[in-house]
A and B are shown apart, each in its own frame.
Chain A
Amino acid sequence: MSETTTNQDPAEIAKSAKKKLAELSSKGKLTPKERLAIEPQLMPVQYPVKRRKNINEVALGYSAEQAQIEAMRCIECKNAPCVDGCPVRINIPGFVKAIAEGDFSSAINIIKENNILPAVCGRVCPQETQCQEKCTVGKVLKDTEKSVSIGRLERFAADIGRETGAMKTPTVKPETGKKAAIIGSGPAGLVVAADLRREGHSVTIFEAFHKPGGVMVYGIPEFRLPKKIVRQEIDALTAMGVKIVTNFVIGKTRKLMDLIEKDGFDAVFIGTGAGLPKFMEIEGENLVGVFSANEYLTRANLMKAYDAKADTPIYNSHKVVVLGGGNVAMDAARTAVRLGAEEVLLLYRRTEKEMPARTEESAHAKEEGIQFHMLTNVKKFIGDEYGILSKLECLRYELGEPDSSGRRRPVEITNSEFIVEADTAIVAIGNDSNPLIKQTTQGLSVNKWGNIITDENQKTSINKIYAGGDIVLGAATVILAMGQGRTAAKAINKILAK
């Protein structure tokens, strides 16, 4: 089990937290030493055996008392190193203090100044390598897992703010008459939309899918990020007057330059994500039963294949092999478990230490019975006489010299081939960038991976056109995409102010 979560009954936890809070409050203002002595609050989660069979959220959220106690652990550092770790620079000490004082509505409104998707970020940010990595409390206690749980507190503030209606719709300045178009409704696009709209510009988001949200709706599963929450965060944008046009593919329904030349948009932001699944280019990859994680997850999430009411089918799997070691691989494996697979194996070329997935997610995956096989990769997919996947020929690896990324390079061990039987394989080895816009826009510079090249203000090689998020960074994170969106919005607001 993950060190920072607990399977205990949430009601019990809340009860003991209540007692503890009363005890702490009776002490008056706490000294830093007293704060450091407070035990980190564990996140209650659904019991593994139970959650294997449902699609509901795994982490259940702090109770109000738990949140207050956790917030009291913050020693209110003057230089607030945690803020430097947050790509959108939330006023962390400020909102944490508000929670400690029980002023939850101030907490959410402080967060909202810098982050329009707090309920999302509080759930999916890799906090342990961002804000929480820098936290002084973790440093003093020599364990990042003991840092103040900034993400969980952010989630708490967002959830309670939403439930109580404390979250204010950001004010919008008087209409300027300027028009901006945003392509893609993932986190990057949404941030730009909010920031431009606040300044009074008219903003239209064009989204290829029938629902806005990008990876937050089609990739990250319900059990980690309930779609209702994404929907509500997006509703806050429409309440500000942002227009969202779905079923609209830029490059197909309309060309990028037409937005400027014919439709009168004064600026465009491209936030189309990294949606082109990579395959391994090995034998048997197109057999029936071999899927990209994107396809598997889209069927399960966006198209709701987990629900018997959905028309979209999903493959009926007994034994699933997932290839990869990132968040996407974890999500695919955990989804397969929930869709009824009896056995799920995860194969990764390196060791658990190099795995890019968040430790909490891989710990949860293991609790759910997913078998990790490290230093292993597939060499070819083998089908039966009907062209349906029946087994994988795999190879063992060992770690060699560090490569350019500083991680030790996996080297295959000769003659180590062995067979794994499986009816389903899910390839989760990453995404390249989608070429639709590049192909239909002259003069748009991209690098050799197809990522759009921008300057430090996120401006592309074409005037008035900006880009950010995964289409620029390659597959990254929600908050980094938002950080780039913020930078782009600042630059766009500047040119629109002229």
Chain B
Amino acid sequence: MNKILSKQQLSENVFKIEVETPLIASERKPGQFIILSLDDNYAERIPLTIADADESKGCITLIFQVVGATTKKLSYLNIGDTIDNVVGPLGKPAHIGKVGTVVCVGGGIGAAPLYPIAQGMKKAGNHLITIIGARTKDIVILENEMRKISDELIICTDDGSYGRKSLVTEPLKELCEKNPPPNLVVAIGPPIMMKFCSETTRPFNVPTVVSLNTIMVDGTGMCGGCRVTVGNKTKFVCVDGPEFDGHQVDFDNMMKRLNTYKRREKSRFEEECKLDTQINKLKGN
């Protein structure tokens, strides 16, 4: 169980792995996630979206960015290794249906959680326009996969090293100004990007769905650590979400909550990085 069947490095800090979890592979729906931890005693539990699944192989695909201690350790694992704990599929599935034109916007690693939803939207018969944004060319991920399913694909980079030099909100705004505007926008990425996408579509009244990535512990509604304010009500991202109406989410509060443990996590990460340099030295790199 939970054996890593394949591993691929998509960019400097982004990895894609296939993990053998037959039950999760057959039960999961687009938009859902898993929680994993690397040992029973001292490891942390972290949520990752199920980017894809292959029922016949009994495996799920995870795409993760190395940002802290746990994702770093995860990136050390190789084909044949197992992940001690994987639980899922958690969260509510994405709402997928035929609405007409759907714009899917993925920022950075957000393209990973976006992919299964975009796939579902296309399958449901929508006209699919995909926008992917990244800081620079080297970290654009899932371009080919997205191109295959999209009727139109727009790539933006902050530095103009690839595609259009702009933030994702620029082409999004242009699409909203068209007549008719898109019927639905799905935006997934860093909170700040989801916030500005929501602000972009608000004046046009285009329904906008975001998928929130709060800090989690259990993922089953037990701790309330993942809570966010949506339309002035408290919601638990792990059980009520992760999808919410972007026009209702209090992103500022969410971003502050994401920083709750920043200082401590940073020191932890630096420890791991030191370890990394040591390992590299040993390997003679």
Contacts and interface: CB of A to CB of B under 8 A. Distances in A.
B220 A208 contact: yes
B218 interface: yes
Given A288-B259, A299-B217, A252 B90 contact: yes
Contacts of A246: 85
B84 A315 contact: no
A481 to B, nearest CB: 16
A50 to B, nearest CB: 25
B220 A436 contact: yes
Contacts of A291: 224-225
A307 B221 CA distance: 25
B42 interface: yes
Interface string A262-280: 0000000000000111010
A172 B218 CA distance: 34
A176 interface: no
B260 interface: yes
A277 B222 contact: yes
A106 interface: no
B125 to A, nearest CB: 27
A309 B45 CA distance: 15
Nearest to B233: A281
B51 to A, nearest CB: 18
Contacts of B62: none
Contacts of B217: 295, 298-299, 303, 312
B224 A292 contact: yes
A400 interface: no
Contacts of B84: 210
Question: Chain B CB within 10 Å — which of A298, A307, A311, A434 has the most?
Answer: A311
Contacts of A286: 227-229, 234, 250, 253, 257
Given A249-B90, A253-B27, A286-B228, A436 B40 contact: no
Contacts of A275: 220-222
A186 B267 CA distance: 35
B264 interface: yes
B37 interface: yes
Contact of A313 (B23, B228, B252, B264): B264
B152 to A, nearest CB: 35
Contacts of B70: 311
B59 interface: no
Given A210-B40, A436-B239, A315 B85 contact: no
A435 interface: yes
Interface string B22-41: 01100100000000010011
A279 B236 CA distance: 12
A312 B44 contact: yes
B199 interface: no
B69 interface: yes
Interface string A13-35: 00000000000000000000000
Question: Chain A CB within 10 Å — which of B23, B227, B268 has the most?
Answer: B227
Contacts of A277: 222-224
Nearest to B90: A252
Contacts, number: 117
Contacts of B40: 210-211
B43 interface: yes
B42 A388 contact: no
Contacts of B252: 387
A247 B253 contact: no
Interface residues of A, number: 43
Interface in B1-32: 23-24, 27
A323 to B, nearest CB: 14
A57 to B, nearest CB: 19
A316 interface: yes
A224 interface: no
Contacts of B250: 286
A259 to B, nearest CB: 12
B261 A315 contact: yes
A299 B268 CA distance: 16
A310 interface: yes
A248 interface: yes
A208 B256 CA distance: 29
Given A281-B234, A288-B257, A303-B44, A434 B221 contact: yes
Contacts of B86: 247
A276 B88 contact: no
A288 B256 contact: yes
A276 B221 contact: yes
A209 interface: yes
Nearest to B85: A210
B91 to A, nearest CB: 9
A243 to B, nearest CB: 14
Contacts of A312: 44-45, 217
A475 B74 CA distance: 37
Contacts of B253: 286-287, 387
Contacts of B43: 311
B89 interface: yes
Given A299-B217, A436-B220, A254 B260 contact: no
B223 A294 contact: yes
Interface in A408-460: 434-436
Given A253-B23, A304-B42, A387-B256, A436 B85 contact: no
Interface string B240-278: 000000000010110011011101110010000000000
A281 B234 CA distance: 8
B87 A288 contact: no
Given A288-B260, A436-B239, A249 B85 contact: no
B27 A298 contact: no
Contacts of A436: 220-221, 239
A285 interface: yes
8 contacts: A246-B85, A247-B86, A286-B250, A294-B223, A299-B217, A311-B42, A387-B256, A435-B221
